[in-house]
Each structure stands twice: as C-alpha cells, then as structure tokens.
Amino acid sequence: MKVILVNGSPHEHGCTDVALREVEKTIKAAGIETEIYWIGKQAIVGCQDCRACAKDGRCVFNDKVNEFADLAEKADGFVFGAPVHYASINGTMRCFLDRLFYSAGRIFYLKPGAVVTVARRAGTTATIDQLNKYITISQMPLISSCYWTMVHGAVPEEVAEDKEGLQVMRTLGRNMAWFLQCKEAGAKAGVPLPEQETRVWTNFTR
C-alpha cells in the first residue's frame, strides 16, 4: 500500500512540509509506503472548462497535474496539504486541485483522502472546508483526526513548536493507516465495492 502526501506550498521545505512529514511518520510506522509530492513554485494555469478531458481522460495542459495523475493511479491513499493565503487555499494549489479532480476524479474513487493546512493565525478552517470538498465530491472516504487538521506557525520552527497541532498530524497518519489496513482486509475477505448508479444531472432551472 502507498500514500502520497501532496505539498501544495510554494516552499518545498516550509511549514506545510513540516506538517506533512509528521503525518508521514505514523503512516510509515504502520508499514505503509509513502511519498511526498511537491507541486512546485511554477504557475499552474486554472481550469479553462474546455471539457476535453471528458474525451481524453487527461487535462489538455500537460504539466504537474497530469504528472501527478499518473502517480495517483497506483496510490492507495492521499493527504493534501496547503498553506493559507488570504484566509483561504493558496492559488497554485487551488488550480492544481481544480484541474486534477475535474480531469482525473475517477482515479480517486473509494481511496481515502485527508487534508492538512497551515497558517500563522487564521483562515485554517475555511481552507480545510475548501480542501475537503474535493475529497467528498469524489467518493473518497474522508480521514479525520482528534481535532481539525491544522497547525500554526509563520516559519517551520514555529510549526515544530505547535505540540497539539503535531499530535493532530500524527493521529491523522495513524487513522489513515488503520483505514487502509481495514480496506485491505475487507478486500481479502471478499467484501464487494458499493453498487454504482448511472449519474443523474439536474439543474435548478426549468
């Protein structure tokens, strides 16, 4: 089994990285393989609503989004981490997730997902709410912790001092590992996947 932890910060070894590595620690301790994927600091264009991905199964912009989608196909669980910018998710991560889930949402079906956010002071709950929406629209089991999955600090050294926040991260990692082990045990026992209905699309106009 493998969990990919996505660092959506422009800083590869910044505050978000500290939080993700604390989550990674307890996932690894359970014997599950991990990988931290940094989306980088280059601009990622937002979704153009061209809908070509519905035909091709990939985004027309061949950048980090398609690169990650290829990795995600073989992964079993995900943790998406993002810093708070102006009381909400940072722009690059927002564009990355919009295009990823729009073009490749099928690959996340029933794979557990979790979210992590970091702020100096405020905006964390709004950002968690934004991140959770990608998971819950994709039929991904949402992994939670003993508190909202946030840490605080303006620099990595301050995040390392947030003892409660780091405990929340470790608990999140254990919960992710436990869920994956339960899912694997269920598959071995022959528990079938849920029945899927053909999607129905309705608008609120008549």
What pLDDT, in 10s, does the model give residues 140-181?
999 999 999 999 999 999 999 999 999 999 999 999 999 999
**Beta carbons within 8 Å of 60's beta carbon, 6+ residues apart:** 48, 50, 52, 53
112/133 Cα distance (integer angstroms):
13
For the chain, residues with pLDDT lower than 50 are none
- Residue that is written with structure tokens 């959770």 in the block: 132
pTM of the model: 0.95
- What structural domains and CATH numbers belong to the chain? 2-188 (3.40.50.360)
Q: What is the pLDDT of residue 205?
A: 73
**Beta carbons within 8 Å of 197's beta carbon, 6+ residues apart:** none
Q: What is the pLDDT of residue 206?
A: 63
Q: What is the pLDDT of residue 56?
A: 87
